[in-house]
Amino acid sequence: DQLRAALQQMPKAELHIHIEGSLEPELIFALAERNGVALNYASVEELRAAYAFTDLQSFLDIYYAGASVLLREQDFYDMTAAYLARAEADNVRHAEIFFDPQTHTARGVPMRTVIDGIHRACQDSPVSATLILSFLRHLSEEDAFATLEAALPLRDKYIGIGLDSSEVGNPPEKFARVFARCKELGFHLVAHAGEEGPPAYIGTALDLLKVERIDHGVRCLEDAALTARLAREQIALTVCPLSNVKLRVFDKMEQHNLLALLDAGLAVTVNSDDPAYFGGYMNDNFIATFEALPLGLSHAQRLARNGFAAAFLPAAQKQKYL
């Protein structure tokens, strides 16, 4: 119908996509074969059948296993090029792409292999694309500092720093010092908070890490004072609707709080998180959300505009979308 066509056709910015989460089962198998990596699954179908998640950790275990096929620069290039082609098909005009270097350097893959491969694919795409290096919060502060050190010679190839992986029990304060260093270095800062973790993590991500956007943040509505602050300061939330349903943050899309977040005056954006694992890319996220909730064209335009407004782009580059 008309709304669906409008959702598909409108120019979009994607601000929350983990590039390792765009690795489709077919590409996992192709790279496993190319690199001689053994997988614990006999076929694409068997792997896809394992994508029945009960919470964030049950997903992360499979996501890190899938990433183990990435060894060469060309592997990182091919993964990123495939995502950007899908993004282009969904009329994504700008993407800010997370990558998890520790997932790869821990397996002996050099930092430059990871960053050069992903960055070269961004350069070759018609989609505007920039990179955000994400620390794994289940690892130590020391490991994050070592990762930053290893990535600094390539600092022209990424624009920001993020924080992802297992949220509960790994609060923002664990990374306050390394984020302070990243701020001194001039990087944009974001963090996952309030996905599975409590709303208090959203406040500490803002106050202690000095982040400019919150990834997910959907649990903010449990705290009225926090919600009021996020609205007042217009802190963007990079919400990922299909992810939230697959990881059981909400049992069904009909129960998603995206409309309530909008009605609270928050700077909500729609994103795909890990599209190969959660059943869809940008347009799939928009369509699934608009089918389940009473949202219309004005909501669509507001969500798309919020994405560009919250993007780490020069004003001149995003002006035409605002």
The set of catalytic residues is 195
Of 10, 17, 28, 56, the one binding ligand ADE by CB under 6 A = 56
In the list 102, 147, 165, 227, the residue contacting ligand ADE (rule: CB under 6 A) is 165
Residue 159 token pair: 């624009």
Contact call for residue 73 and ligand ADE (CB under 6 A): no
How would you classify the pairing of strands 236-239 and 267-270?
A: parallel
- Of the candidates 22, 105, 164, 281, which one interacts with ligand ADE according to CB under 6 A? 164
Pairing of strands 128-136, 160-164: parallel
Considering the complex, state which of residue 75 and residue 273 has its C-beta at the smaller distance from Zn ion: 273
CB-CB neighbours of 108 under 10 Å: 8
Name beta bridge partners: 96: 130
Q: Is 160 helix (H, G, I), strand (E, B) or coil?
A: strand
Q: Which of 75, 286, 89 is nearest to 99 (CA)?
A: 75
Site for Zn ion in 267-286 (CB under 5 A): 273
Q: What angle do CA 109, 113, 115 make, to 5 degrees?
A: 115
14 binds Zn ion (CB under 5 A): no
Total of residues contacting ligand ADE (CB under 6 A): 11
Residue 271 contacts ligand ADE per CB under 6 A = no
274 binding ligand ADE? (CB under 6 A): yes
170 binds ligand ADE (CB under 6 A): no
Say whether 244 sits in a helix, a strand or coil.
helix
Residue 206 lies near ligand ADE (rule: CB under 6 A): no
What are the structure tokens assigned to 135, written together?
A: 């620390």
Smallest separation, CB 232 to Zn ion (Å): 25
Closest approach, Cβ 317 to ligand ADE, in A, equals: 27
Q: Taking CB positions, which residue lies at the least distance from ligand ADE? A: 164
